[in-house]
Chains A and B, each alone.
Chain A
Amino acid sequence: MPIDRRLLLYINWPLFGLAVILFLIGVLNLYSASGTRLEEGMNMAPFYHRQLLWGAMGLFGMLVFMFFDYRHLKTMAWPLFWTTVVLLVAVFFAGKTIYGARRWLDLGFMNFQPSELAKIAVLIVGARILSREREPLNFIRLAYVLGVGLILAGLIIKQPDLGSGLSILMILGGMILFRGVTAKVFKTCLVAIPCLLPLSWFFLHDYQKQRIMTFLDPTTDPLGAGYHIIQSEIAIGSGGFWGKGFLEGTQSQLRFLPERHTDFAVAVFGEEWGFVGTMVLLILFCVFLYQMVVIARDARGLFGSYLAAGVFFYFFWQILINTGMVLGLMPVVGIPLPFISYGGSATLVNFCLVGLVLNVSMRRFLFKQA
């Protein structure tokens, strides 16, 4: 198939550019968080080196996800779904236990986490089901769509991996809201969910309850769980209006801030670049998200719209939860900030999903091919 020139023409270049820019900001921030001011040969250089390597792989993955026609995914939706279910079940029998949880399959050369695949599967299956819905969802249709997500989420929560399981439900839930539900369903949920939420308290592990309690009052455990929140707020707050400058953050440089290269990466950024820099970063993320809305709006066919909406929620929740946590607005949960936090496979998946929406955008004017 010769590549149609229009394909390149219609790529959403702002989204492409923002992904690369955000990634580079992340590497720069990682460089700072790695403590380069220490004596020679004693920094955490491998972190940003490795991150650059993963970024290169991510760009390649992005190109792969742009290359084929995304509409083929429609036929692959259900096979992909069932493959994921089989792999998730296989984890229970053949899975590798790390840190007390069975989440990994040993492929020999690497450990593979089927719950990552499940996040992609739920996007594609969700887009396929929802794009067929002609009316806003009533209770029965809602139960059907949610059921698909619950199968995946249930298997993952059982591993146990509450975080990944919930994020699957949240992605699917976002897509459902995007499709819309009947007024009756909406009103019912509006009343029922806040009532049912307190019940979930009884299903939480002790350490999870502890985290929520610590979130409500971090000073109760200043050396333990509350430590992260306090230190993070100090780091960001002390950044002030202009920030302390690149590589000048005393909190992160003094290593008072834990996990500064992964979950709390934004705190380092906030300290060094101040209110101005952080607002710029926030705006970049908002524009990044807005481009997906544009793609969802302009997509040819509903399947593409829903894919874009799914990817939107994939990023939206992560940004909301991670930044909310770092700013002390939410309990501490281990969710990274896309492109900014250190993490190999996350970077790879992020770029691939950006590739997927770019794929949708570049094919928006293509008509049916023979």
Chain B
Amino acid sequence: MSDLYNESEQQAPRSGLILLQALILGLFCLFAVRLWYLQIHRGEAYQAQALENQLRQESIPSPRGLIRDRNGDLLAVNEPAYALGIIREDCPDVDRLVHQIAVWTGKDYFELKTLYNKNRKRVKPFEPLIVVPDLTFAQLALVETNKLRWPGLEIQFRPRRLYRYGDLFAHVLGYVAEADEEDMSKRPNLALGDYVGKQGIELMLEDRMRGIKGLTQYQVDVNGRRLKERILKHPQAGHEISLSIDLGLQKLCMDWLSEEAGGVAVMDADTGQLWALATAPSYDSNDFSSGLTSKQWAKLRDDPLHPMQNRVIQSVYPPGSLFKHVVAGAGLRYGMIDPRETVFCPGFVKLGRRVFRCWRAGGHGKVDMNRALVESCDVYFYKLGKKLTVDRMSEFAKAVGFGEKTDIRLPHEKAGNIPTREWKIKRFGESWQGGDNLNMAIGQGFTLVTPLQVVRFFAGIANGGKLLKPLLLKDEKTVVQADIPLRPDQIGLLRQALVDTVEDPHGTCRRIRTKGVTVGGKTGTAQVVRLTDELKALKDDQIPYRFRDHAWMAAIAEKDGRRFAIACLVEHGLHGGSGAGPIIKAVIDYLFLDKVTPNPEERKAKARAVRALSLKHKEKRHAD
């Protein structure tokens, strides 16, 4: 221990002391020379620059391109909006200003403060940090009169997106919202507070619609208040877009879907252009442009009917009897049937110990292919499916566009599912059974399709065999994605069966007959669950909502060289004819007779009742 305090009288190393003094001298000389250079040698130049510093530049937002329907009616426009921002370099007391903004706008101080803290690092010096994106006129007036007393406060004018038919086009147009971190990293031109397409066409064509920002220069006084302003570069508006959608038809479809959950797709069978792409329930795109409140978001998210879901491209359903046209096509393609050959339908078929029933308990008697399609005889297709087996059915189904995306380019499209032997082993660990062939042949079981795939396939039958890319823009060129691998006469047989289904006294689509128009159709029922005998005994109205079958109808219609395909699905709509038929009929009337058939009140009332039922059901499940 003693050693600690008993040091020799050694002196600090001389070289070290010299080093320290040299360092001080070096520091002095270095900085003295630099100061002389900056302050004396170049002092005047810097003084001139200091004066110029009172000029600032700011970008001017560009208005997004307008969106029109196929007839030129405006769907999406821009309206003036005022945002409130803070330029923190000008603001002597941000806390006080944020407090004041909270008082003016009635927003929560802590929410504003959190927003400010989150974003302050991402805003360039002297650019406003937007804290309130959307001022009402009353608020604007209030802030404007007080503005001069609050340095650092900035009112920014910027165009805001307005969707004139908020919920009619929500799923097609999508919506815009403020750019987030991800958007900004993907698109370096975006700054905080800019609006960017988040869904639908707005997202798909973001780069075309955004436009180019302008630049303005202004002089400021000591407190950052603007004195003189000069526009250096005018903003350039984004490109205008014309959709292939027909406003009137879209309106009609949405009106008919009313409060039911379902979707309608109408395609020009010669060009692939979609005239309507309706899905219900919907939401209002405008809610997003002004910033969704958490309450609004929760309401959308928790709705049991999922209004954010685009049922035409994002929902998949078993195709039911619609698939019989695919199976018949496969039979023709692989030469497994002679269309004139008849099959006897006693009302059921036995496979091993299992019995597969026809929907008509008494059977159809002797049916050929046309009759089997027109009357939707299950037994005929059981037998055909057994012959074809899954391999040929799925090969053909894939060849006509099922099981893969249609490339419509709207975000989040689903591919559906066409099962194969390998798929079943992978998915369930079980091998393909003979009974699976039979189920598949009538469109039940593992097959899942989207309404958009259905409309493309039926448009293919209508136009003589071309599978067209579904188009949403009016100026897009028609694209043939594939040819249905059948001879024209074979496609003619399928097409004739569709027409007969409408015209024949026994056909299931008689209600869509239209004078002067060649109409064909096919109904389908997509089983949601296999009904127990107990449920089967119930009347339609008494079956619980979630056990009710989905109703399908696909149709083709032609007059004077104009050809259309229509697909309609109504979730839990029970029967294709009554659930989807009237909607298809209304569409045909609109397209060919120029007639807007209103949706009768009783149908709307029924839809409301069904919706209430589904909500009740949801509540009950929550209560459990």
Contact = CB atoms under 8 A, between A and B. Distances in A.
A and B form one complex: yes
B17 A238 contact: no
Interface stretch (A151-159, A298-306, A347-355): A298-306
A131 B4 CA distance: 11
Given A289-B24, A302-B10, A38 B53 contact: no
A316 B39 contact: no
B16 A43 contact: no
Nearest to A294: B17
B124 A223 contact: yes
- Chain A's interface size range is 35 or more
24 contacts: A75-B4, A179-B13, A179-B16, A180-B15, A223-B125, A227-B125, A234-B50, A234-B53, A236-B35, A237-B39, A239-B43, A240-B39, A251-B50, A254-B224, A282-B31, A282-B35, A296-B12, A300-B7, A302-B7, A305-B11, A306-B12, A316-B23, A324-B30, A327-B34
A37 B90 CA distance: 13
Given A35-B92, A368-B6, 12 more contacts: A179-B16, A180-B16, A270-B39, A293-B21, A293-B24, A301-B10, A302-B10, A302-B12, A309-B16, A316-B23, A320-B27, A327-B38
B39 A274 contact: yes
Majority SS at the chain B contact face: helix
A184 interface: no
A179 B14 CA distance: 9
A92 interface: no
Interface residues of B, number: 53
Interface of A: 35, 37-39, 42-44, 71, 74-75, 131, 177-180, 223-224, 227, 231, 233-241, 250-251, 253-256, 258, 270, 274-275, 278-279, 282-283, 285-286, 289-290, 292-293, 296-297, 299-303, 305-306, 309, 312, 316, 319-320, 323-324, 327-329, 368-369
Nearest to B56: A256
Interface string B31-46: 1101110111011111
Given A238-B46, A254-B53, A323-B31, A42 B92 contact: yes
A173 to B, nearest CB: 12
Nearest to B1: A75
B28 interface: yes
Contacts of A323: 31
A254 B35 contact: no
Nearest to B41: A237
Given A235-B50, A238-B47, A275-B39, A368 B5 contact: yes
Contacts of A329: 30, 34
A179 B16 CA distance: 6
Contacts of B151: 38, 42
- Nearest 7 CB-CB pairings of A with B: A237-B46, A305-B12, A178-B16, A238-B50, A301-B7, A275-B39, A240-B43
A42 B153 CA distance: 13
A303 B13 contact: no
A77 B40 CA distance: 49
B54 interface: yes
Given A240-B43, A253-B222, A286 B24 contact: yes
A290 B21 contact: yes
Given A178-B20, A316-B23, A270 B35 contact: yes
A64 B432 CA distance: 86
B21 to A, nearest CB: 6
Nearest to A177: B19
A71 B39 CA distance: 46
B92 A233 contact: no
